């Protein structure tokens, strides 16, 4: 597919308005039949040097103007980038602008394949990697006394904010995509996280009297008070990483736990000799220890062992309310890499520590029904003897 760029002059309108109709541009430069090619619309904010990718579309029709009128290039298949992607800070932007004659020649084909790949990398990337101003999220230097701030706001934190901190504290490499966070928190879309993030960032900075990091235009980067991040190797996914100082503070003040005793890792006997007091820890998926995934699992299945039916609170009283392990039904080795997302209802089950140990006596682990059947058979034999 060939790539074309059209520049939107801000003197006509700062940004074009999004509509449900066909994508389209007008160009006074006569174009050949470019059906099947892709057009990228670049716009500049009025009176600034900020350039953005606004949308792209695949050309399926060209209507040639008559008597000096501009040609109309349009198509149905495309995507509005929400938010629009700021590109003037990209390392390749000046090369692109030079390649296209400072956008002075209207609709123009991008012949440099490296520049084409750069456009595609930004334009097709998941919007999780962009803040509400369309800036690519990176690692912005920022420091504050997070422990003091959390102590001052802890009573006013919402469940969503605590869940967010908890999820990132125990996630693999302490990172999750915005989509993964949203699903763990039971939200329909990651856009709903923005409000919780902004409110948390505002509360933290206000508590200790510091300002959030700023953009060049003076607006606040609220996300960066809470998190840093990284792009996947192909640049199409973005993973949020809780700021280390915030994670340490959240653990220190007790808002989050990296390994809650109520759902600590199961212990697995080993054939090799052990020193006195030594144990081998079963390596479980981080989602099993994720407080949010754990809560979703227990809300659906209850804090009762799925194998033997043990309810700790019934046996030990209120001190053991909610004490239970959470077991992953799918062997961890079969789970995907960084993009794997667990379903707490269908893939996790509450089990007591004893049953959890026995489930892991074999690799792959025994199934819940399989172990329940063994236990029932033993109980039957004991009753009949």
How many CB atoms lie under 10 A from the CB of residue 290?
A: 27
Handedness of CA 286, 292, 295, 301 (dihedral sign): negative
Cis peptide before 364 (omega within 30 of 0): yes
How many CB atoms lie under 10 A from the CB of residue 257?
A: 16
Domains held by the chain: number: 3
**Is residue 107 located within the same domain as residue 70?**
yes
**Is residue 309 located within the same domain as residue 339?**
yes
**Is residue 249 located within the same domain as residue 268?**
no
Q: Which domain holds residue 240?
A: 146-257
Domain membership of residue 101 (yes or no) is yes
Handedness of CA 134, 137, 138, 140 (dihedral sign): positive
Final residue belonging to a domain, choices 229, 257, 285:
257
**Is residue 182 located within the same domain as residue 158?**
yes
Query: What's the pLDDT score for residue 287?
Result: 44
In tens digits, the chain (385 residues) has pLDDT values of: 789 888 876 554 445 555 546 687 888 777 777 888 888 888 887 767 788 888 888 888 888 877 777 778 888 888 787 678 888 888 889 999 899 888 877 788 899 988 988 888 777 665 555 555 555 556 677 889 999 999 999 989 887 788 888 878 776 566 777 777 776 676 666 666 777 888 899 999 999 999 988 876 677 888 889 888 776 665 556 777 888 899 899 988 888 766 443 333 333 333 333 333 333 333 444 444 566 777 788 889 999 999 999 999 899 888 888 888 888 887 655 655 544 567 788 888 999 888 988 988 887 889 999 999 999 888 888 777 6
Query: What's the pLDDT score for residue 278?
Result: 37
Query: What's the pLDDT score for residue 275?
Result: 36
CA-based nearest residue to 200, from 235, 241, 246: 246
Domain membership of residue 135 (yes or no) is no
**Could you give the CA distance from residue 118 to residue 136 in angstroms, rounded to a whole number?**
13
Q: Are 65 and 113 in contact (CB under 8 A)?
A: no
Domain membership of residue 357 (yes or no) is yes
Final residue belonging to a domain, choices 76, 91, 124:
124
**Could you give the CA distance from residue 238 to residue 76 in angstroms, rounded to a whole number?**
28
Query: What's the pLDDT score for residue 267?
Result: 34
Q: CATH number for the domain including 180? A: 1.10.10.10
Domain membership of residue 140 (yes or no) is no
With vertex at residue 268, the alpha carbon angle to CA 263 and CA 270, rounded to the nearest 5 degrees, is 160
CA-based nearest residue to 194, from 153, 240, 237, 143: 240
Query: What's the pLDDT score for residue 18?
Result: 52
CB burial readout 122-155, b (16+ within 10 A) else e: bbebbbbbbbeebbbbeeeebebbbbebbbebee
Final residue belonging to a domain, choices 217, 241, 257:
257
Q: Are 14 and 33 in contact (CB under 8 A)?
A: no
pTM of the model: 0.47
**Is residue 116 located within the same domain as residue 162?**
no
Structure tokens belonging to residue 111: 């012949």
Structure tokens belonging to residue 355: 């049953």
Domain membership of residue 132 (yes or no) is no
Q: Is 196 helix (H, G, I), strand (E, B) or coil?
A: helix
Rg (CA), the chain: 27
Handedness of CA 84, 90, 96, 101 (dihedral sign): positive
Query: What's the pLDDT score for residue 136?
Result: 58
Query: What's the pLDDT score for residue 264?
Result: 36
């Amino acid at each position: 597919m060939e790539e074309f760029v059209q520049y939107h002059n801000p003197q006509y309108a700062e940004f074009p308005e999004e509509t449900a109709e066909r994508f389209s541009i007008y160009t006074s430069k006569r174009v050949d039949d470019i059906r099947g090619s892709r057009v990228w619309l670049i716009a500049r904010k009025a009176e600034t040097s900020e350039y953005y990718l606004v949308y792209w579309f695949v050309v399926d029709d060209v209507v040639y103007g008559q008597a000096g009128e501009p040609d109309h290039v349009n198509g149905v298949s495309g995507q509005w980038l929400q938010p629009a992607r700021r590109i003037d800070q990209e390392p390749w932007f000046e090369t692109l602008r030079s390649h296209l004659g400072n956008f002075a020649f209207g609709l123009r084909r991008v012949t440099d394949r490296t520049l084409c790949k750069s456009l595609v990398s930004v334009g097709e990337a998941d919007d999780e990697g962009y803040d509400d101003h369309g800036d690519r999220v990176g690692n912005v230097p920022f420091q504050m006394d997070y422990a003091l701030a959390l102590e001052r706001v802890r009573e006013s934190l919402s469940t969503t904010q605590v869940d967010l901190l908890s999820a990132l504290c125990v996630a693999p490499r302490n990172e999750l995509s915005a989509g993964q966070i949203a699903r763990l928190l039971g939200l329909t879309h990651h856009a709903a996280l923005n409000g919780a993030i902004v409110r948390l960032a505002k509360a933290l900075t206000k508590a200790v009297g510091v300002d959030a990091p700023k953009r060049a235009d003076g607006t606040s980067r609220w996300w960066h008070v809470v998190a840093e991040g990284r792009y996947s190797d192909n640049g199409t996914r973005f993973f949020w990483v809780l700021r280390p100082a915030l994670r340490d503070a959240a653990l220190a003040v007790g808002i989050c736990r990296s390994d809650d005793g109520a759902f600590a890792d199961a212990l697995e006997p080993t054939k090799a000799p052990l020193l006195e007091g030594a144990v081998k820890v079963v390596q479980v998926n981080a989602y099993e220890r994720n407080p949010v995934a754990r809560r979703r699992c227990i809300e659906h299945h209850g804090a009762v062992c799925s194998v033997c039916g043990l309810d700790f609170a019934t046996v030990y009283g209120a001190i053991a309310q909610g004490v239970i392990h959470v077991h992953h039904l799918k062997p961890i080795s079969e789970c995907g890499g960084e993009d794997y997302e667990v379903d707490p209802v269908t893939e996790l089950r509450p089990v007591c520590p004893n049953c959890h140990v026995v489930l892991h006596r074999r690799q792959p682990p025994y199934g819940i029904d399989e172990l329940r059947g063994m236990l029932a058979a033993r109980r039957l034999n004991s009753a009949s003897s």
